[in-house]
Structure 1
Amino acid sequence: MKTLPLRRALVGAVALGAAVTLVSCSTTAGGGPAPSDAPAGEAGPRVAVSYDGGILVLDGDTLDTVGDFDSEPFTRLNPAGDGRHVLVTMSEGFQVLDTGAGSTEPAELTDTVFEADTPGHVVRHGGKTILYADGTSDTTIFDTAELADGDLPDVETIAGDEAHHGVSVLLEDGTFLTTVGNADGRSGIVVRDADGAEIASSDQCPGVHGEGTAADEVVVFGCEDGALVYKDGEITKLAAPDQPYGRMGNAYVSETSPIVVGDYKNDPDAEGYLLDAVTLIDTAALTSTVVPLPDGAEYTFRDVVRGPDDLAYILGTDGAIHVLDPASGEITDTWPVIAAWEGPADWQDPHPAIVVAGDVAYVTEPSAKSLHAVDLTTGEVRASAELDVTPNEIAPARG
């Protein structure tokens, strides 16, 4: 495998981020009472929801709109990791949205941008936020807490080798993992220590995509024929039961669970984006198992999350949240929430999505222009709101 050069530079975010001025349609603070344990005047949780040409910020308890901002036609929303800010993928890079969660400040789409050529994945781990630029394969890293402090964070830039749709992970001891690929495809990962020396590498991961850090900082990357697991300085390839194609493309993790839940596809010629099984990767035992879902419970990459008790919550095309116990592979509960739905024609098209903040799941229902808050301890719908726009991407901020 070709060696990736490691060049690190400390650069201020002011230098990185070109100022982008966007017009705010509304920055009205409020939207319902703060939780009883929040100081007077301090906002509770918030939810950011993208739509065609804009971003809403909603009160996480009442689902009232507290901010409405112009944006590009399609934007992705990524929690920054500090419980307050969201990173919006714009054409210039990652723009900072301040939801105001847990503060007395109104929501604001700031003019701070972490510049990136074709911004891609955002990873949060160990107090760091890691940004990946597909157009250069460069990785930008900053201390997550510095956003919450209101400061412009200093960043560390790790130069990539060849541009590709990739992702990077930084462990607490400085170990750096990043994907390897080029314009023709992606083949694996390389791992380096804090000084840049190579620890391990693998080119046995065709189409590498998706990552997750499980308990004890074991990292999993998805492949078109299985997965790579980085553990204790070594990389292990876990082959999918279906060969030559058994793809895991997204990993849904809890950092207190050794089991990774991955999406799973075994037909490379299948049309559309709906899937009907998940893969369970046990990073302690180094095993993988494919679990079919109940009939009518197909899903897309937007429809799986981890929540209370390290369980997985899958929003199916039947409109229900299916509770999966990763340890047993069993569906333990099913909660109807929205109307049945069909898969999107394109992955960017609005279709139902689920995200989690604590014990609450937020579920979009684009066909009804609605958003629902669901108690994941009971399955009860706590609140619902009909929006004036069609929701697409969603990101929570707990405050």
Structure 2
Amino acid sequence: MRNPHLLRRSAIGAIAVGAILALASCSAGTSPSSSAEPATDAEPAGARVAVAYEGGILVLDGETLEIVGDFQSEPFTRLNAAGDDRHVMVTMSEGFQVLDTAAGSADDPELTDQIFKADTPGHVVRHAGRTLLYADGTSDTTIFDPAELGASELPAFETVEGAEAHHGVSIMLEDGTFLTTVGNADGRNGIVAKDASGHEIARSDKCPGVHGEGTAKGEVVVFGCEDGALVYSGGQITKVAAPDQPYGRMGNAFVSETSAMVVGDYKSDADAEGYLLDAVTLIDTEAMTLDVIDLPEGAAYTFRDIARGPDDLAYILASDGAIHVLDPETGEFTDSHPVVGPWEGPREWQDPHPAIVVTGDVAYITEPAASSVHLVDLITGEVLESAELDVTPNEIAAAVG
């Protein structure tokens, strides 16, 4: 296939080349390692990476970063993994369009004509074998099994009708418990939990500006508030207050389902301009505590720049160009890996700025200022591969195959 947007690819040094060969030869569940022994629990072969740019979406080979697909789209699109290790949900004006990356197969990628209709499509949540699509314009939630994607038609889906339209999010737990945000056009203030039959279990209106969610170990769910967070566990909702009051905002949760610790973004000045942040929250969902940890001096980030990875650590791609490794259990930064050039925060959140997604032991990182995408070994910190494009990368999503 012709690759019109690929200007150059380069491995970074002889050590990185060896790591790439190890990556290419791995079977599913393995990845490059810094030792001579085979690694485990890392990047499976056949991965693909979707990268949005203005007016289009590229699909890259997950090992070589070569372009294997290029599709026209609307000027700005959001990308989210669909939950089946192959498809990506593309946020379009009509709803959530299905992108088949063909990860793990010999097929060509395809931006299908399948669209889950939604009025102002918003958050995509994956949990317990279900994918939930939230429509801000109606507050309706669409629920489907991502394993059923790939047929000639959309999979069967359920729609849970919302009450009043707002920018919200929903999640469904393994037992069918449904949690969703509560709000209206004037604002958002809390969450409600209902059992599988639709009966209300719990409700809280103690979460001004509720935004984002994440599920930690034991299906404990955290929602961000402008003065802390709400934690749902075992049918109970607990408010965890931020140290800064009345404004200490957490808006996005970065979780691992094998860790009780939730990492969140954090903003303590409601009047601060721009989107760069220089501290994170650590929420212990067992002790029900919330601590704030400052980033190293000169490091800041946006909501696109935090991911959980190997050993349940948090990997923060900061404005100084490095990935800073945070141990959520201790609150200590344990390592730092230079990857991209220093960068400034975006004027608008939609504007291209560096982003990180993690799968297995590797991260895919965009560097819009250099029109590049990088593949990084998170264990060693080495850049395994880089690709320079003739478009500016914006949002990114990985499908592991």
TM-score (norm 2): 0.90
Among candidates 300, 322, 340, match of residue 338 of structure 1: 340
Structure 1 residue 150: deviation in Å?
6.7
CA distance in 2, matches of 1:361, 1:142: 28
CA distance in 2, matches of 1:343, 1:232: 39
Structure 1 residue 80: deviation in Å?
0.2
2:61 match: 59
Q: Deviations over 1:258-304 (max 9, x none)?
A: 00000000000000000000000000111110000111110000000
The secondary structure found in structure 1 opposite 2:311 is: helix
Question: RMSD across aligned C-alpha pairs, in angstroms?
Answer: 2.0
2:247 match: 245
1:354 match: 356
1:211 match: 213
Say if 2:169 is the partner of 1:171.
no
Among candidates 87, 90, 93, match of residue 89 of structure 2: 87
Which has the bigger relative contact order, CA under 8 A and spacing at least 6?
2
Q: Deviations over 1:216-243 (max 9, x none)?
A: 0000000000000001110000010000
User: Which residues of 2 match residues 369-388 of structure 1 at below 5 A?
Assistant: 369-388=371-390
1:226 match: 228
CA distance in 2, matches of 1:336, 1:360: 15
Tell whether the 8 Å contact from 1:38 to 1:44 is kept in structure 2 after alignment: no
1:258 match: 260
Structure 1 residue 103: deviation in Å?
1.1
CA distance in 2, matches of 1:224, 1:274: 17
Structure 1 residue 357: deviation in Å?
1.2
CA distance in 2, matches of 1:71, 1:43: 28
2:35 match: none
Tell whether the 8 Å contact from 2:216 to 2:255 is kept in structure 1 after alignment: yes
The count of aligned residue pairs is 372
**AA of the residue aligned to 1:228:** L
State which drifts further: 151-160 or 212-221: 151-160
Tell whether the 8 Å contact from 2:26 to 2:45 is kept in structure 1 after alignment: no
Say if 2:38 is the partner of 1:36.
no
Q: Deviations over 1:160-196 (max 9, x none)?
A: 0000000000000000000000000001000000000
Tell whether the 8 Å contact from 2:114 to 2:153 is kept in structure 1 after alignment: no
2:105 match: 103
CA distance in 1, matches of 2:346, 2:355: 12
CA distance in 2, matches of 1:149, 1:81: 15
Tell whether the 8 Å contact from 2:222 to 2:231 is kept in structure 1 after alignment: yes
**AA of the residue aligned to 1:132:** Y
Among candidates 111, 123, 135, match of residue 133 of structure 1: 135
Structure 1 residue 152: deviation in Å?
2.9
**AA of the residue aligned to 1:101:** A
Structure 1 residue 35: deviation in Å?
3.3
CA distance in 1, matches of 2:129, 2:391: 34
1:391 match: 393
The secondary structure found in structure 1 opposite 2:163 is: coil
Among candidates 361, 367, 370, match of residue 368 of structure 1: 370
**AA of the residue aligned to 2:233:** K
CA distance in 1, matches of 2:246, 2:26: 54
**AA of the residue aligned to 1:377:** I
- Distance verdict in 2 for CA 1:149–1:216, change over 3 Å: farther
CA distance in 2, matches of 1:380, 1:288: 33
Say if 2:64 is the partner of 1:75.
no
Among candidates 245, 270, 273, match of residue 271 of structure 1: 273
**AA of the residue aligned to 1:68:** D
Q: What are structure 1's unaligned runs of at least 5 residues?
A: 1-23
User: Which residues of 2 match residues 135-214 of structure 1 at below 5 A?
Assistant: 135-147=137-149, 152-214=154-216
Q: What are structure 2's unaligned runs of at least 5 residues?
A: 10-19, 29-43
CA distance in 2, matches of 1:69, 1:43: 23
2:32 match: none
**AA of the residue aligned to 1:323:** V
CA distance in 2, matches of 1:107, 1:43: 16
Q: Deviations over 1:13-44 (max 9, x none)?
A: xxxxxxxxxxx998xxxx999933559xx971
CA distance in 1, matches of 2:214, 2:168: 13
CA distance in 1, matches of 2:144, 2:73: 24
Tell whether the 8 Å contact from 1:43 to 1:103 is kept in structure 2 after alignment: no
State percent identity of aligned pairs: 74
Runs of 4+ in 1 over 2 A off after TM superposition: 31-39, 148-152
CA distance in 2, matches of 1:233, 1:43: 40
Tell whether the 8 Å contact from 2:282 to 2:292 is kept in structure 1 after alignment: yes
1:7 match: none
The secondary structure found in structure 1 opposite 2:25 is: coil
**AA of the residue aligned to 2:294:** P
CA distance in 1, matches of 2:140, 2:213: 17
CA distance in 1, matches of 2:151, 2:220: 30
User: Which residues of 2 match residues 270-289 of structure 1 at below 5 A?
Assistant: 270-289=272-291
The secondary structure found in structure 2 opposite 1:236 is: strand
